[in-house]
Structure 1
Amino acid sequence: MSTAAATARGEASRASLQDLDVVFVDLDQSRALIEREEACTPRLSASDQLRADRLSDDPARQTLWRGARIATRIVLERTAGLEMRGAEFVIASGGRPTLGEGWPHFNVSHTASVALIAVCRSSPVGIDIECRRTLSMSPDRRRRIVAAAAGLADGNAIDPESDVDVLRAWVRLEAIAKARGSGIGALLTEEGVIGGAARLAQNFEQCSLATAALDVEAPYIAAIAADTLPVEISIRRFPVSAEALRDFLH
């Protein structure tokens, strides 16, 4: 995969490339490897297993969620070591899973049969990925989403009549909400996308976040947000073979 240019708001300093790891997972291609690896070397926690079991009435969703969670734990192990195996995540306010004080920050997004995982050693990180699609959305809602994204992060001009551009704005908002840990509903309310006519004046702290559009493969659109970001972000691809996985982990 290629790189993505990161656009920072204000005077935020740049993170080093070693501080951030972004991994794209094609769950269709990697599922067999992921499940074999989990069978040989369990990494899911007890609560992970319980959540997967609760999705048993929707086997397709269960398979995708389980694959994304195992992949996330493998990526975390690559960064933070063997202690990640079976470790329980701490659920922060806003519902964001964390590893707790002193551990790397991470975030995950998945859509269709792919997942995107970000691990950042220095600050909370938010990431979002969407599949290009036709949107059934009023012109007013489109304008509000685009205006909110433009108000929170610099970037290329966004056309509210373009489904692709509205999705670009949406993943930016989702990434910012995840980096803040507030949840997308709170951010949309603050920015006047829902429940109001304009963004609330007191909410300027999220404008200091750095954001970047990530260059993921078609037909996907993705964005990332953190306190600081490298000028260029390399996106790794999750392995599809046991040999490649060994190299990935070491």
Structure 2
Amino acid sequence: MRKLRVLRLITWLPTGGIEKKIVSVLSRLDRNSFDPFVCCLRERGILADKLEEIGIPVEVIPFRSRLDPFGLWRLQRLVKRLNIDIVHSHMYRANTPATILKFFNPHLRVIGHYHNVDTWESWRQLRLDQWLARKRDLNLAVSHAVRKNVIQHLRLPPEKIMTLHNGVDTNEFHPVSLEEWRLIRKELSWPEEAVIITMVARLVRQKNHRFVIENASELLRDNPQTFFVFVGSGPEEAALRELTRARGLENHIIFLGTREDIPRILAASDISILPSS
């Protein structure tokens, strides 16, 4: 039986949650059944190298807008050249051109993936997605809350979208021995008696780090040995550091930046939070 040729379409491949999940899933894909390809619509990003290291080609077709005619023409040529059977796109910026491809090739199967609630930045985006979502063969949501949000805002028939939860690789994310726990805390200069609350997320407004900073003092009144750890980087970093200083929390909020050892950091933490708005 011929292998299915699948093109994953995304804006770019920085070290974000969605992008890391794509790398994780594609690295485990059954190559006897699928031939995977990836195309970025802005630039490559650091994770593109990791995909190519495991034999997955990464193309770049810069789009000036979501309906860029020249970009759409190049994307259609790529789909034809690679003999793609399925386009699996992620988020509005990629979902839009992916769905337009069906007008050129009605036999092409298109899957649009929603990762957050309220992702439309204007009423034009909302109206366009209301139309295009119905044209896709399938829409996916990462949670029941996201699925409900998409159905409500796009007035999408429920049968046109299903929930596909993100998985957790328990070979990577698992408890560690007390000895390893102590070693990690020592490496990170975390006191053994401290309560470590860790947030792994890009430093962007939607992830709502401000909520944590603005409410940290209440927890510190009950337990002065509480520390908040932000793992990640992003455009909000300077503003978040300034807010931390203004609240007098420099000794209790730790900015770790981008890390490759997140499983170890979480294993040494007490609580993991993600208060996205």
- TM-score bucket of the superposed structures, by smaller chain: under 0.3
Greater length-normalized contact order (CA 8 Å, ≥ 6 residues apart): 1
| TM-score, normalised by the number of residues in structure 1 | 0.25
